Amino acid sequence: MANKTVLITGAAGFLGSHLCDYFIAKEFSVLGMDNLITGNMKNIDHLMGHPDFTFYHHDVSNYVYVPGDLDYILHFASPASPIDYLKIPIQTLKVGSLGTHNLLGLAKAKNARMLIASTSEVYGDPLVHPQTEDYWGNVNPIGPRGVYDEAKRFQEAITMAYHRFHGLETRIVRIFNTYGPRMRLNDGRVLPAFIGQALRGEPMTIFGDGSQTRSFCYVSDLIEGIYRLLMSDYAYPVNIGNPNEITIKQFAEEITKLTDAKSGIIYQPLPQDDPMQRQPNIDKAREILGWEPKVDRAEGLKITFDYFKTLTAEDLNKVEHNDFTKYNKY
């Protein structure tokens, strides 16, 4: 594998940076690409100057070119939290459509295998539980979350079109809730939100009555599943996530115990189209990839909490990660 080259888009993001680390460790030549709208160079600072890592500051919604041979493309460029994609809805739609189209064209030109990062959000607020890959979903295309959900659904559709029409080697991973170091503390997702509130001495905010469920997969397990899917010969979507389901209220209680928080819990109205149940069926991942999660939640949460404790007071109180205003013109 020493001579293989992989392009990872969204390389400065949470998952993208962990993917860069993983492929560097496997002695790939890694090309990281990110426009830094939501990514953070701190996540890949340790790779800068590494002989097997090259960084491109580029928006994949524009034409993408990289020199030389290319064996694999992993498309992870996209806002992935409600705070982000509700503030930059057009860019979210563009990176899922134009960005995916550009990268599929690059994969075709380079004869590279391409894996796209899809999401459990393609299932919407599911009427089937747990969610299997053959479930088509219950998505509101014109709701506020539709910009993300439909971008990912289109991404899957155009990827399969390139696979069928051009014979391109493609892979589709449907990612369920994932957590670990390098998550953005204030990105709006439940785990960093709860831990951030606990560290600031604020009450944890539960939206709705807390009966909605989520299933949390530790990042190292997810990255291993993605790699196995990339190296498999299976072209259809595969769920990668942890099927250990928990209610949001139970999760808040776990975080309270972990952090020794004393500020209690407050309740706010549930956002529109927020899914009530989220649990992956991972039978395909087990059968096709020989994969299942290994890190239990207690272990993963402790590692994640230890990471967040290293952040500065400025980080803990930062409401915005980036200035989105300049991106709202288009």
- Give the catalytic positions in this structure: 148
Structure tokens at 88: 């930059």
Cis peptide before 130 (omega within 30 of 0): yes
Closest C-alpha to 159, from 175, 146, 141, 172: 172
Instruction: Give dist(CA 179, CA 15) in Å, integer.
Output: 9
In one letter, which amino acid is 19?
A: L
- What torsion do the CA atoms of 217, 220, 224, 227 make, to the nearest 10 degrees? 100
Instruction: Give dist(CA 195, CA 258) in Å, integer.
Output: 9
Instruction: Give dist(CA 32, CA 58) in Å, integer.
Output: 10
Please tell me the number of Cα atoms within 13 Å of 18 on its side-chain side.
19
Helix (H) or strand (E) holding 84: helix 82-87
Helix (H) or strand (E) holding 214: strand 213-215
Q: CB-based burial of residue 294 (10 Å sphere; 0-12 exposed, 13-18 middle, 19+ buried)?
A: exposed
Q: Where are the alpha helices (DSSP H) in 116-238?
A: 146-166, 190-200, 219-230
Instruction: Give dist(CA 47, CA 152) in Å, integer.
Output: 29
Instruction: Give dist(CA 124, CA 140) in Å, integer.
Output: 7
